C-alpha cells in the first residue's frame, strides 16, 4: 500500500483553486490525510523592483499584507474542511520553489493545485508555477484545466479512474499509485495504452500483422503489470496520437481522474513525456502525474 498521509494544497484564492479544493478534501477525507494549505507571498522586492519606495512605507505595507493574508487563509473554506486535519501556512518566497521545497521537507505524498490562478498580486501567472512544480516535485501532482468547474458542483465523485501507461520504466510505479487510489476510493480502474500509428509510405507495403504484434506485446506487458494488483482493471489499447487516444478514452470511460507517469527529475517518461502538458490541458477531468 502506498501512503497518502500528507496532501499539500497551495492556495491563491482563485476560482480554480476553490475547485481544486474539492479534490483535496475528498482525498484527504477518504485516506485520512493531513491537509496543508500553503499560501506563498511574493517578496515585496519582486513587486516594487521598478519603483522607488520609502523604507517605512514598504515595511508598513508588508506588515499589513502579511496580517491580511493570514486572516484570509485562516477563514478560507473553514467550514468545508472542518472535519479534516488542516494546517494553514503563509510563507514568503518564489511560489514554485517554496511549494517544491515544502513538499520535500515534509515528505508530502500529493500536491493538489490548479493550472492557473489570478489571485491578488498576480500569483500563479499563466500556469508557470504549476509547470515548475510538475517538473521539480518528487511526489505526484494533481492538476487540470477544468478544476474551476468543481467550484460550485460540490465534491467530485471520483468513481472512475483512467491510468495512461506507455509501458516504460515508470509504468509500474504509475499503475501502483492509480490502483491504490482506486481501491481506497472503491473506484473503477481502466488502463489506456496508445500504440504508434504504423502508416506505409505512399506506394509502399504495410504488413497488418505488425499492428497485431504491437497490440499483443502490449497486452502481455499489461497482464504482467496487473497480475498482483488488488483491483482488476479494464484495459483499452488503441493506435494513434497519444493525447487523442488518452483523452478519448477518458471521455469514453467517464473518467473523474486521469493518472499519467512522470519522473521526479526529468519530466514525464516515454511517449507520455512529450504529451504531458497537452494531456493536462486536453483531458476532460483532473490529471495526476506520478
Q: What's the pLDDT band for 6 if we cut at 50, 70, 90?
A: very high
Helix boundaries (H) for the chain: 15-31, 44-47, 55-75, 95-105, 128-136, 171-185, 209-226, 242-252, 270-273, 276-282
In the structure, what pLDDT confidence band is assigned to residue 277 with cuts at 50, 70 and 90? confident
Distance CA 105, CA 194 (A): 36
Q: What is the DSSP letter of 196?
A: P
pLDDT (tens digit per residue) in 33-45: 999 999 998 877 5
Choose the weakest-confidence range: 17-31, 90-104, 150-164, 202-216: 202-216
Is 223 within 8 Å of 70 (Cβ atoms)? no
The per-residue pLDDT for 60 is: 58
Q: Does residue 127 have a pLDDT over 60?
A: yes
CA distances to 175, 176, 237, 247, 288 from 191, rounded to whole Å, are 8, 12, 8, 12, 14
DSSP secondary-structure letter at 201?
P
State the sign of the Cα–Cα–Cα–Cα dihedral 3, 181, 162, 156. negative
Domains of the chain, earliest start first: 6-150 (3.40.50.620), 160-289 (3.40.50.620)
Whether residue 117 is predicted with pLDDT greater than 50 in this model: the reply is: no
What are the CA-CA distances from residue 170 to residues 92, 102, 103, 243, 249 (Å)? Answer: 34, 24, 21, 18, 20
pLDDT tier for residue 279 given thresholds of 50, 70 and 90:
very high
User: Average pLDDT of the chain?
Assistant: 84
Mean pLDDT along residues 48-77: 71
Angle at 35 between CA 34 and CA 40, to 5 degrees: 140
pTM: 0.85
> What proportion of the chain, given as a percentage, has pLDDT over 90?
59
Please indicate whether residue 151 or residue 234 has the higher confidence score (pLDDT): 234
Buried b (16+ CB within 10 A) or exposed e, 24-58: bbbbbeebebbbbbbbbbeebeebeeeeeeeeeee
Amino acid at each position: 500500500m502506498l501512503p497518502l498521509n500528507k496532501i499539500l494544497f497551495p492556495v491563491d484564492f482563485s476560482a480554480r483553486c476553490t475547485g481544486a479544493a474539492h479534490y483535496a478534501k475528498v482525498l484527504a477525507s477518504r485516506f485520512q490525510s493531513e491537509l496543508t494549505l500553503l499560501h506563498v507571498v511574493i517578496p515585496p522586492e519582486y513587486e516594487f523592483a521598478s519603483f522607488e519606495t520609502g523604507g517605512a512605507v514598504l515595511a508598513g505595507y508588508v506588515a499589513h499584507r502579511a496580517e491580511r493574508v493570514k486572516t484570509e487563509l485562516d477563514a478560507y473554506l473553514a467550514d468545508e474542511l472542518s472535519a479534516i486535519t488542516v494546517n494553514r501556512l503563509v510563507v514568503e518566497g518564489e511560489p514554485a520553489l517554496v511549494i517544491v521545497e515544502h513538499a520535500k521537507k515534509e515528505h508530502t505524498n500529493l500536491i493538489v493545485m490548479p493550472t492557473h490562478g489570478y489571485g491578488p498580486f498576480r500569483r500563479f501567472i499563466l500556469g508557470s508555477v504549476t509547470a515548475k512544480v510538475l517538473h521539480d516535485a518528487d511526489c505526484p501532482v494533481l492538476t487540470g484545466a477544468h478544476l474551476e468547474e468543481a467550484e460550485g458542483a460540490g465534491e467530485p465523485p471520483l468513481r472512475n479512474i483512467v491510468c495512461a501507461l506507455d509501458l516504460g520504466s515508470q509504468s509500474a510505479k504509475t499503475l501502483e499509485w492509480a490502483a491504490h487510489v482506486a481501491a481506497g476510493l472503491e473506484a473503477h480502474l481502466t488502463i489506456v495504452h496508445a500504440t504508434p500509428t504504423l502508416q506505409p509510405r505512399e506506394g509502399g507495403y504495410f504488413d497488418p500483422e505488425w499492428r497485431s504484434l504491437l497490440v499483443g506485446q502490449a497486452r502481455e506487458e499489461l497482464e504482467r503489470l496487473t497480475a498482483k494488483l488488488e483491483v482488476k482493471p479494464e484495459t483499452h489499447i488503441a493506435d494513434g496520437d497519444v493525447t487523442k487516444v488518452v483523452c478519448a478514452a477518458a471521455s469514453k470511460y467517464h473518467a473523474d481522474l486521469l493518472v499519467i507517469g512522470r519522473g521526479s527529475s526529468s519530466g514525464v517518461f516515454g511517449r507520455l513525456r512529450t504529451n504531458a502538458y497537452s494531456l493536462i490541458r486536453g483531458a476532460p477531468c483532473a490529471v495526476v502525474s506520478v
